[in-house]
Structure 1
Amino acid sequence: MSESSGPNTDYETKRKQLSSECLDLCDDFSKFSDECSFLCDAFAAVAREPECITPPTSEGIWHVCYRLKIQIRDYRDKMDKILQGLRDLKPEQPV
């Protein structure tokens, strides 16, 4: 059996994969956070001028809010997957 295979290699491979997924998720979330900040400012501006909230504007706000909700769920699911991977990777503690 070569030294390049075995439990330590599997552990290291999984650890590197989880680290990469976590970094990618952090980068994506940072961009998403910037978009949310912009949208919050836009919604606040629209709320200051209620007469500009036409049916198409209202529909657009609903659509954006729905998209944000779906994206937040996607981030939560990705975080849960990474956390479960980390829990599975954690060495068992002696009893």
Structure 2
Amino acid sequence: MSESNVTDQNFEAKRSQLLSESLELSDDFSKFSDEYSFLCDAFAAVAREPECITPPTSEGIWYVCYRLKIQVRSYRDKINNIHDGLCALKHE
């Protein structure tokens, strides 16, 4: 097998892997977006009624915000990995 064929196969394998990761990330983000869109509406409703913010409610809001922050960072990292992979393919 020639070096060109091996290079082409490696390129296609990497491209296919990045495509798969991108599609999976898109599906995951779509679900995430739907779930947290509802949550944002709930936070807005609570903010309109500040007297209903009890210590347990406040703790729950803190926890959900923390989980949201962690999930957003995870999406950012996955996007950066895909971006880096695409840049590497571009320069091959």
- TM-score normalised per structure 1: 0.90
Displacement after TM superposition at 1:35 (Å): 1.2
Which residue pairs with 2:27 in the alignment?
A: 27
Displacement after TM superposition at 1:2 (Å): 6.9
Displacement after TM superposition at 1:36 (Å): 1.4
Which residue pairs with 1:11 in the alignment?
A: 11
Separation in structure 2 between the aligned mates of residue 88 and residue 2 of structure 1, nearest angstrom? 22
Q: Spell out the pairing of 1:1-95 with structure 2 (5 A cutoff).
A: 1=1, 6-91=6-91
Residue 87 of structure 2: SS of its match in structure 1? helix
* Amino acid paired to 2:42: A
What is the aligned-residue RMSD (CA, Å)?
1.5
What is the aligned residue count? 91
The sequence identity of aligned pairs, in percent, is 73
Large movers: runs of 4+ above 2 Å: none
Render the CA deviation track for 1:63-89: whole Å, top value 9, x for unaligned.
000000000000000000000000000
Render the CA deviation track for 1:4-62: whole Å, top value 9, x for unaligned.
x5000000000000000000000000111111110110001111111110000000000
- TM-score normalised per structure 2: 0.93
